[in-house]
Structure 1
Amino acid sequence: MAAGSIARIMNFGDLAKCPKKLCKILALSPSLLKEVQKYKVDHPSATETVAANLPEVPQDILMEIFALLEIPDLVRAGSVCNSWRSAYNELRSLGIYKLSQTPCLLYTSESAGDSVVCLYSLAEKREYKITLPEPPMRSRFLIGSSLGWLVTVDDLSEMHLINPITGEQIALPSVVTIKHVNPIFNESGALHKYEYSWYSAWSVYHPKTSIFALGELRDYLHDKVFVFSDTSTGNYLVVLIHDPHGQLSFARVGDDKWTWLPPPHIHYADCIYKDGILYAVKKVGEIHAFDLSGPVVTMKTIIGMVPEYACEKMYIVQAPWGDLLQVWRSYEDIERDYEADLHSDPAISVESTGEIKIFKVDTMEKKRVEIKNLDGHVLFLGHNQSLCLSTEEYPHLKENYTYFTDDNGLSLFGCKNNRRDIGLFDLKHNSREELVSPQLWSNFPAPVWITPSFRKLNLT
């Protein structure tokens, strides 16, 4: 290891009295931690010597420092020596590390392997590869991302939560406990197929049914899933938007079945949850508030539908300053460079984000007020929980931009070989930019934004 690097590590002893200063050095100089790791790989016999020369910084000071790091730096710090690893493990077990992690883009790559996901760090502008538990990620549908957890659907059409940072995986209630699904067993008693009901407010009297193979149901049922922290119970709420016609079901982590919100509640596009209230926006812009805190679910309308067709995608977002935001996203067809998109299907058109509009929802006057500037904030849109973040808290992000990924049914569940709609949208100039060039390629499942986390979910 270069003398300068060792000197910098040794200086941590003097800096321990000023943890904020040390944190700044670590956060702004992740290369230092990389150097330590590289040196340990290249010179394994000298690892103990380097560790012995490290300053004896008290563990509580180390934990205070490490708690402010981005997770990639935190993981690197935990591999430096035994005392740092001990501080890292204690931090994880207590769950007191920095929670305001910069979002990453999560996607898969055929060359990386079927069980590997890639994380593109916006803070470091680099990619990490993580191997996940079975079944292979590239065999699953990816239908949500919240609180650092992914929601996937396997080839039996069953849903799982998985934390890509910790590798922890949790089964959600079986798909057969959803109102519209009944199991069909074969002669030996094994699950064989699913009976799927198309029941909705439009088919009350003569609901149609279909029979699907185990892996086929997910093509028709699952849409988008959210995981919310329920502070009133200390548990976590999982909300599923599913077909037919965008209906809602929910469960708490540890439940053995889904609870259905029956018609006329249909055509939902996005959800948020706050203080026991589930806010759900319909595809036509109408927002409903469901009170899930009592024995009986009640609903009231926050704002009515948009008078005329407004956009292809609707989102609902809780702003850090307290306002409820509604976001409209419109697409435009683009001409493709088929030489650049060698794997594209020429029969499928490519949609590109062409416009994003943001509205403050005035719940008292029941009206929408368009916002032209986010004033030091950014949006994250995609098939994940919609986010509005402060650039003061997340300095690696670009102010007044929307970071977006694919979020239409064709890209998510249908076409697996087309160019992805990933990038940044400049809200001030109404223009888009590439996230990285050349564009990150991911043919399936569709990429999502995720905020890395060591968070554990209660099973009670």
Structure 2
Amino acid sequence: MQTPSPLPSAWPAAGLSDLPPELMADIHTRLSFLDRLAFAAVSSAPSRSAFKPEPPWLVLPGNTPETSTIFSLADRRAATARASEPTMRDHVIIGSSQGWLVTADDRGTMRVVNPVTGDQGELPAITTIPFIRDIGGYFSILLKPFVDIRYGGVDDLASLSPPPYFRQCGTYTSSDHNMRRYFYRKVILSASPSRRAGGGGEGYAAMLLLQNPFGTPAFATAEDRRWRIAPSRDGVHRPIHHKGKFFSVTYTGIVEEWERGEGGEFRSKVVTTMMADDDDGQWQCCSKYIAAAPDGRLMIVIKKAKDVKYYYAWNQWSCSFKVQVFDEMTQRWEVLKHIGDLAILVGINGSMCVSTEQHPELKAGCVYYTNDDIGTDKGYRASPLRDGTLDKIPELANHHIWPLPAWFTPSFPLAPSRDGVEDAIHHHRGKFFSVTFTGVVEEWERDGVDGEFKSKVVTTRMDSGDGDEHRKYLAAAPDGRLMIVVENTKKSSSRWACSFTVQVFDEMTQRWEVAKDIGDLALLVGINSSMCVSTTKHPELKAGCVYYTDDEMGKASLRKGAGAARRISDHHDDDRRRNVGVYRLKDGAVGNMAGLGQHKSWPPPAWFTPCFP
């Protein structure tokens, strides 16, 4: 797709930039979906930040190789767009992430494109893998070095061993136009590959998942432009990029986290237990999609295909879905019959979980799915989890089934943060500060030329202790020192519990130091805000304590969606248990908020300081 045509000259960008962002956002909501993109294309970054986020779109093959069809779930309308050269024309989409599409052509070349901005690029050639050779119209893959890397040279378990074909043959040969069908499965990007976006193109990584029977990932980075096969004895089914890292679900239902080592190689570590078994024990033979809820919880969607008797002549294809959510406290997967106000979109090229409160155009508690079997037409539908019915999307007309469709979220370049932002504050020094998922603090400033916000690292990485799977809050002491509050949650005696540690950045030593006592200060943290105040100035607060509120938005939403009287699980039934509390840093004692009675847990509470102009 090419970038939508700009607005007429009567609406010059200079004139638009003079309008308040609130007015720009109001105009934006009144436009059709293609006009919204054209309007956003000539709007400034501050104005775009006020626009309502676009819900996912569906990218489908056009009637000709020169066109693509896009369908907006918000507008329930489809439109035809010209396919941009060379990335989209007669190409197959093999990935959708970070607002970018990854495509493959009939020569085995992989490219990236942002259909909104028109930015394009090319990923490293597949022949950068040492044992894959281009032999003119075909690719030859040497199997022995591949087996040595994926299986580590160990052949002890039949279920985790190479297929017999790999042992009997020395090479696997594929025509170049079949690489996108039978060798490439999916590509995930860690960040925008556009250098124009402010540096993301210099720090992104790509994860290429190979089709069965290869079933393992390869990684490439912008700095090291070559693909490196990574070992995975269990095989990788579906990957995502989440909290600054790659995650994948294996064929046996275990989630792994991938990190790059000092030598540039990516290695995985297991971060969850095996999925919960279902009633018939057939989930290992089903399609599994991994997604991340807006609050960060890992989710696996299980799709079961089946044939349903249609009259007396032939069987009709159908399917059903189940969703499991990983509970970090119990370290168990739990089957959910209802996902609250969430909607999940799955397909072979991408999967995502979104809030229907933010996107009311989507149906809550449903799985939107696309065809994920090459060469067959399985439809594009929404499946409510509560009753298992299948609903078509009636506004989506007949269309071609090849190339396969892809979910796509339109996006314009945002303020770049290679590591992702976990929490942010507006510091008293007049600037925005944020802490990344890996514990580095960034400072944000607006460029006086183009108006874009850009970040720079202002601290070293904090000590993450046993790992970085904790929630981090950023605050500033009254004297200006930066502080990170680390919350660690755990299950104790069948009850939820939490503990906090505080680290303070020393500008002289350029190091983070763990503070066992914060003196006459009190910290207030929550999902909506965090602050540090003096108890000398506010003697009503307890010195050396952390006041905290519920920061599990997704679980509160699930309780709301399933009904107040209904338990979603055995330890999510008490809204008040994990809502508000006071934690004393000196001895780890946890107390209730004096004078605060029973209250609802949704929407989540927020700290607020009253003030007058």
Matches within 5 A, 1:48-447: 59-66=17-24, 69=28, 73=32, 76=35, 88-91=41-44, 96=49, 98=51, 100-110=53-63, 113-135=64-86, 137=88, 139-184=90-135, 191-198=136-143, 199-200=146-147, 201=151, 202-203=161-162, 208-229=170-191, 234=200, 235-243=203-211, 244-253=213-222, 255-264=224-233, 266-292=234-260, 294-295=262-263, 297-301=266-270, 302-304=272-274, 308-310=281-283, 311-334=285-308, 351-352=317-318, 354-408=319-373, 411=374, 415=375, 418-436=376-394, 439-447=397-405
Identity %: 24
Structure 1 residue identity aligned to 2:108: S
1:152 Cα offset (Å): 1.0
CA distance 1:270–1:350, change in 2 (3 Å): farther
Unaligned residue ranges in structure 1 (runs of 5+): 1-36, 41-46, 80-84, 185-190, 338-345
Q: Can you give the 5+ residue segments of structure 2 that lack an aligned partner in the other structure? A: 1-6, 152-160, 194-198, 419-613
Q: How many Å separate the matches in 2 of 1:179 and 1:421?
A: 39
Contact 1:420 1:441 in 2 (8 A): no
Q: Are residues 1:451 and 2:378 paired?
A: no
Report the CA distance shift for 1:71/1:407 in structure 2 as closer, same or farther (over 3 A). Answer: farther
SS of 2:208's equivalent in the other structure is strand
Partner Cα separation in structure 2 for residue 76 and residue 366 of structure 1? 46
Distance across 2 between alignment mates of 1:436 and 1:211 = 42
1:131 is displaced (CA, Å) by 1.0
SS in 1 for 2:95: strand
User: For the residues of structure 2 that align with 1:172 and 1:356, how far apart are their CA atoms?
Assistant: 34
User: Are residues 145 and 78 of structure 1, via their aligned partners in 2, closer, same or farther at CA, if it must alter by over 3 Å?
Assistant: closer
Please say if residues 100 and 192 of structure 2, whose CA atoms lie closer than 8 Å, have aligned partners that are also in contact.
no
Change (3 A) 1:306 1:427: closer
Letter of the structure 2 residue corresponding to residue 251 of structure 1? A
Considering Cα pairs closer than 8 Å and 6+ residues apart, tell me whether 1 or 2 has the greater RCO. 1
Q: Distance in 1 between matches of 2:101 and 2:387?
A: 33
Q: Counterpart of 1:219 in 2: which secondary structure?
A: helix
Q: Secondary structure at the match of 1:320?
A: coil
Q: 1:179 to 1:168 in 2, by over 3 A?
A: same
- Aligned residue pairs, count: 376
TM-score w.r.t. length of structure 1: 0.71
> Match of 1:182, SS?
strand
Q: Distance in 2 between matches of 1:454 and 1:277?
A: 22
**How far does residue 309 in structure 1 lie from its aligned partner after superposition?**
3.0
Superimposed CA distance per residue, residues 121-153 of structure 1 (whole angstroms, 9 cap, x where no aligned partner): 111111122112234846322211112211111
Are the aligned partners of 2:307 and 2:317 in contact in 1 as well (CA < 8 Å)?
yes
Larger Rg: 2
Normalised by the length of structure 2, the TM-score is: 0.54
Range that drifts further, 233-242 or 219-228: 233-242
What secondary structure, in the 3-state scheme, does the structure 2 residue paired with 1:330 have? strand
